[in-house]
Structure 1
Amino acid sequence: MTKDVIALTPKMPDTWALLAGLYAGGPGLTVDTGDDGAVVQLCAADGRPLVSLEAPLLVQVPGEAERLLGDQVAPPGLPFWWTEARASTAAPEAEPLAGSVAGRLTMLLGGATWPPGAATTDVVPVAPRSEVSARPVSGGAHPTVDVLTDSTAVVMCDRPLVALTAWLSHILRAAVESRRALQIVTPPGVRLSLPLRTALTGAPNRWVVKDPDCGYYDGLSGAVLRWQDGTFAPARDASGGAVVAEAFGAAPASSEWQLIVAFRTVHNADENLVLGRALEAAWGALTGAAPAGWGTAEPINLPWSTRQLTDLARDRAPEPTHFLAVGDPDRPALAGLRVTRAEGGVGADATLTLGYGADESVPLDAIEALATTLAGAHGLTDMFVSLRRGRRDLAVPAWFEAPPIPVSYTLGAQGVRAAGLAHARRPPLSLRPVQLGPDAAPSLHYVLGDGGDARTWASLEHLMTHLNPPPAP
Structure 2
Amino acid sequence: MTKDVIALTPTMPDPSTVLAGLYAGGPDLRVSTLADGAVLQLCTPGGTPLVSVEAPYLVHHPHEARRLLGDQVPLPEGPFWWTEARATTAHPEGERIAASFAGRLTTVLGGTVWPPHVAHTDVVPTAGLAPSATCGSLPPAVDMQSDHASVILQDRPVIALSSWLSHALSAAAAGGRALQLITPPTCRLTQPTRAALAAHPNRWIIQHPEHGYYDGVSGCQLRWRDGAFVPALDDTGHARVAEPFKSAPFVSGQDAAAALGEQQLLLSIRTVQPAAEGLVLGGALEAAWQHLTGTRPVGWGTAEPVNLPWNRRQLTDLARTRAQKSEATWLVAVGGPEQPGIATTRVLHTSAGIEEHIAFALGYGPGRTPPLAALPELARLLTTRHELATMLTTLRAGRRDLTVPSYFEALPLPVSFTLGPDAVRQAGPARAEAPSPHLAPTRFGSASAPALHYTLGDGTQPGAWAQLQQVTRHLKQMQ
Normalising by structure 2, what TM-score?
0.95
Which of the numbers 411, 435, 440 marks the counterpart of 2:419? 411
Partner of 1:378: 386
Deviations 1:8-50 (A, max 9, x none): 0011111000001001121122211222211111122222211
CA distance in 2, matches of 1:94, 1:212: 24
Deviation (angstroms), 1:143: 2.5
Deviations 1:187-221 (A, max 9, x none): 12111111100001133100111012321000011
Corresponding residue SS for 1:468: helix
Query: Is this contact kept in 2: 1:2–1:89, CA < 8 A?
Result: no
Q: How does 1:348-387 map to 2 (within 5 A)?
A: 348-387=356-395
CA distance in 1, matches of 2:434, 2:25: 73
Partner of 2:133: 134
Mapped pair 1:441 → 2:449: yes
Query: Is this contact kept in 1: 2:6–2:82, CA < 8 A?
Result: yes
Mapped pair 1:287 → 2:284: no
CA distance in 2, matches of 1:35, 1:155: 18
Partner of 1:155: 152
Deviation (angstroms), 1:136: 3.9
Matched residue count:
468
Mapped pair 1:400 → 2:408: yes
Larger deviation: 302-311 or 417-426?
A: 417-426
Q: How does 1:55-454 map to 2 (within 5 A)?
A: 55-130=55-130, 132-136=131-135, 138=137, 141-251=138-248, 253-317=259-323, 318-454=326-462
Corresponding residue SS for 2:270: strand
Deviation (angstroms), 1:82: 0.1
Query: Is this contact kept in 2: 1:335–1:351, CA < 8 A?
Result: yes
Deviations 1:351-377 (A, max 9, x none): 100000011111001101100000001
CA distance in 1, matches of 2:100, 2:243: 40
Aligned residue type for 2:98: A
Aligned residue type for 1:343: S
Query: Is this contact kept in 2: 1:266–1:342, CA < 8 A?
Result: no
Corresponding residue SS for 2:315: helix
Query: Is this contact kept in 2: 1:283–1:290, CA < 8 A?
Result: yes
Aligned residue type for 2:166: S
CA distance in 2, matches of 1:312, 1:50: 34
Larger deviation: 281-290 or 67-76?
A: 67-76
CA distance in 1, matches of 2:132, 2:296: 52
Deviation (angstroms), 1:91: 1.2
| Aligned-residue CA RMSD (Å) | 1.4
Deviations 1:302-345 (A, max 9, x none): 00000000000000003211110000111100001011012331
CA distance in 2, matches of 1:126, 1:470: 70
Aligned residue type for 2:240: V
Provide closer, same or farther for how the CA distance between residues 441 and 109 of structure 1 changes in structure 2, counting only shifts above 3 A.
Answer: same
Deviation (angstroms), 1:236: 0.5
Deviation (angstroms), 1:348: 0.7
Larger deviation: 419-428 or 322-331?
A: 419-428
Query: Is this contact kept in 1: 2:395–2:413, CA < 8 A?
Result: yes
Corresponding residue SS for 2:4: strand
CA distance in 2, matches of 1:452, 1:57: 43
CA distance in 1, matches of 2:337, 2:438: 40
CA distance in 2, matches of 1:465, 1:332: 34
CA distance in 2, matches of 1:24, 1:62: 28
Provide closer, same or farther for how the CA distance between residues 229 and 278 of structure 1 changes in structure 2, counting only shifts above 3 A.
Answer: same
CA distance in 2, matches of 1:309, 1:63: 21
The unaligned stretches of length 5 or more in structure 2 are: 249-255
CA distance in 2, matches of 1:113, 1:321: 32
Corresponding residue SS for 2:37: coil
Larger deviation: 247-256 or 271-280?
A: 247-256
CA distance in 2, matches of 1:316, 1:75: 34
Corresponding residue SS for 2:3: strand
Provide closer, same or farther for how the CA distance between residues 73 and 319 of structure 1 changes in structure 2, counting only shifts above 3 A.
Answer: same
CA distance in 1, matches of 2:75, 2:158: 17
Deviation (angstroms), 1:470: 7.3
Deviation (angstroms), 1:89: 2.9
Which of the numbers 455, 470, 479 marks the counterpart of 1:462? 470
Provide closer, same or farther for how the CA distance between residues 302 and 180 of structure 1 changes in structure 2, counting only shifts above 3 A.
Answer: same
Deviations 1:384-437 (A, max 9, x none): 000001100011100011111000001111111112221111112402111111
Larger deviation: 87-96 or 176-185?
A: 87-96
Larger deviation: 203-212 or 403-412?
A: 203-212
Partner of 2:24: 24
CA distance in 2, matches of 1:270, 1:259: 32
Normalising by structure 1, what TM-score?
0.96
Deviation (angstroms), 1:176: 1.1
CA distance in 1, matches of 2:152, 2:2: 8
CA distance in 2, matches of 1:452, 1:19: 57
CA distance in 2, matches of 1:62, 1:363: 28
Deviation (angstroms), 1:184: 0.4
CA distance in 1, matches of 2:75, 2:45: 35
CA distance in 2, matches of 1:214, 1:254: 28
Question: Percent identical across equivalent pairs?
Answer: 55
Query: Is this contact kept in 2: 1:2–1:156, CA < 8 A?
Result: no
CA distance in 1, matches of 2:204, 2:132: 30
